[in-house]
Amino acid sequence: MLDRLTWFVALLIGLMLFALLHRRGYDDPYITYRYALNLATGHGFVYNPGTATLSTTAPLFGLILVPVVLVGWPLPLVANLIGCLSHAAGALALWRLSRLWRDEMTGAAAALLYLLFPLPLMTLGSETLPAMALTLWAFVSAAQGRQWLTGALLGALVWLRPDGVLTGPLALLLLMIDHGNWRDWRRWPWVAALMWASIVAAGLGLAWLVYGAPLPVTLYAKQQQALIPGFYDFVDRLQVTLNGYAHQPFYQIVFALAGVGLVATLRSPRWLFLIGWAALYGVAYTVLHVAGYFWYVAPLVIGLAPAFGVGVRVLVDLLRRGGGKWLALAGAVLVLGGTTWWLSGSVYRIGQQIDQRLAVYRAAGEWLAANTAPTASVATLEIGIIGYYAQRHLIDFAGLLQPDVAAQLGSGGFPAAAQYAIDRYQPQYLVLQEHALSLLAGRTDLLERCPVVTEISDLRFPAPLTIHHCRW
């Protein structure tokens, strides 16, 4: 009965988040949306029909969205709904872990911070929130000793997001420690490990068969972007993000409690599995040296939340020892209530901050869909929203679709990659924002070949977004 009630509460919370955040979105997830759309419309699981390139890092998320396209529902809106429900389920997983480990105070505080911390919610629409939730539920399954389910969740997680492979060793270790005898190799979680390895191997083989490579080409592109002088890598983005929060007194308290909790986990080490996952994640992305986009930093909240929760529990225990249960209760109410009040305001503000590119790029994509031939090729810097609504052959200045374009990024940045892509592929249309990426200045040949055919108001810059028709 209690399990049903907690799932019902999680459902209500997810729907409340959706009501506040349903208008959110950003460019990158639309790449995966287009994979789903193309598969549903018979063009295969590709971005550009006829070109087998794996340019999404979330193939399973794309497959999940295919039925949404088939029934005619608005795909970006449903993706946001999935994200909100997943996020609530992730918070529930933290609570479930605390029940299994008999540490409910830690679980309540951790679930609250996880649910309302702003950074993960900014990734709404992508696979990030479902992947975070699945990571936590893999740990729940491992804590329950369910080998088959743990292996299946770990396998699915890798194809929901490739960095999910980091969860496997830690979840298997948790299984081995909690429900086996690590001294006896015959009692190790071989079933879960075999299930996990089989699913991952099958996916790798399928990707190799279809795309000629097991990994998305976007990994190389993001590594090349990180080499651009002045462009953030993962460590830079993490530092900027932490500095942004650390200047606010509320987050100073959160980080202080998390620091206390980190030390205290040495006496309650099970939470170290989640904190260790976050540490392993950070090391992996540092070693990979990819570009520092905000959605790469968001999953670290999986480690921050339990550290904060343990810190709150330590504080409440100190208050109990010093002033009795009523002082401890008052302290818990003050900390959890204050956290809810402060972060709820942040969630509301996130819901009001709508990326202007959603409207601008959609208008550009819809113009291309209505005014160009179905076989037309289009080159631009951000391909997600424009490509999804245009449904034309896209050439990407950021190298996410064409690896040879990505190879130009490290030495010359986006301008060099864009000039190479235009000269190499000779697109029929260009979609440009000269104030963001100046390509036409100094290229009189392009000005003559590619006159402007329409302009789209873009309040982010002094000049409009322009669409050019090129004749080669």
pLDDT the model gives residue 180: 62
Question: CA-CA distance, 5 to 8, in Å (whole number)?
Answer: 5
Query: For residues 241-270, b (16+ Cβ closer than 10 Å) or e, as one string?
Result: beeeeeeeeebebbbebbebbbebbeebeb
pLDDT the model gives residue 322: 86
What is the average per-residue pLDDT within 68-74?
Answer: 96
Residue 51 has pLDDT above 80, yes or no: yes
User: Which residue type sits at 37?
Assistant: L
Residue 326 has pLDDT above 70, yes or no: yes
Percent of the chain with pLDDT over 90: 88
Burial (CB count <10 Å: 0-12, 13-18, 19+), residue 33: buried
pLDDT the model gives residue 59: 96
What is the average per-residue pLDDT within 220-239?
Answer: 95
Residue 183 has pLDDT above 80, yes or no: no
Average pLDDT score over the chain:
94
pLDDT the model gives residue 441: 80
Tokens of 262: 């980190």
User: Which residue type sits at 99?
Assistant: R
pLDDT the model gives residue 444: 86
Residue 217 has pLDDT above 80, yes or no: yes
- pTM, to two decimals: 0.95
Q: Between the CA of residue 181 and those of 115, 167, 186, 195, 267, what are the distances in Å?
A: 35, 21, 9, 20, 21
Burial (CB count <10 Å: 0-12, 13-18, 19+), residue 6: middle
**Cβ atoms of residues 275 and 266 within 8 Å:** no
Residue 3 has pLDDT above 90, yes or no: no
pLDDT band at 1 (very low <50, low <70, confident <90, very high): low
Is the model more confident about 187 or about 242? 242
Residue 292 has pLDDT above 90, yes or no: yes
Tokens of 33: 């949306």
Residue 345 has pLDDT above 70, yes or no: yes
Tens of pLDDT, residue by residue over 80-116, are 999 999 999 999 999 999 999 999 999 999 999 999 9
pLDDT band at 181 (very low <50, low <70, confident <90, very high): low
Is the model more confident about 297 or about 325? 297
